Amino acid sequence: MENSAKVREYLRECGVFYIATEDARQPRVRPLNGIYLYEGKLCIFTPKDSPLYKRLKADPQMEICATHPDKSWISVIGRLNEDQRECVHEAVVKSYRDSIQDPEALLQCQMTVFRLDSARVKVTSVDGNVKECVL
């Protein structure tokens, strides 16, 4: 299994993960629970009117972290760049629709996809073992 697919599966098993950005030297951390894979790249889906969208457009640097049920934890450091291709948007919407109770709500808001580029990943187990990879 490719590294991006392994990271996606790990984050999905965590349930909720957190994305950190910096806003005028003030850290901002937001919970997310949707991570998608398209053309071998990890993607997130966010509303265009959200503070996260505005922050990532201004500065795409971010870090994702989460704790796994096995008590290991992950850190993903990289850049999230907006991917405006219709095919990407459609694929993520289809995947997202399958996981929400009211798929029609997607039609009411403008959502966009951010693709994870040039990321470093580190998974640390409870006993201190570290596995690293590059996406």
Per-residue pLDDT of the chain (135 residues; tens, 9 = 90+): 599 999 999 999 999 999 999 988 899 999 998 899 999 999 998 889 999 999 999 999 999 999 999 999 999 999 999 998 988 878 877 776 666 666 566 555 688 899 999 899 999 999 999 999 999
Structural domains counted in the chain: 1
Domain that includes residue 122, residue range: 3-134
- Residue pointed to by tokens 């009117």: 49
pTM exceeds cut of 0.85: yes
Q: Give the Cα separation of 28 and 114 in Å (integer).
A: 17
- Residue pointed to by tokens 């993520």: 92
**Buried/exposed 17-43: b ≥16 CB within 10 Å, e otherwise:** bebebeeeeeeeeeebebbbbbeebbb
- Both tokens of 25, joined, read 């030297």
Quick one: which of 75, 84, 72 has its CA closest to 29? 75
The CATH number of the domain holding residue 128 is 2.30.110.10
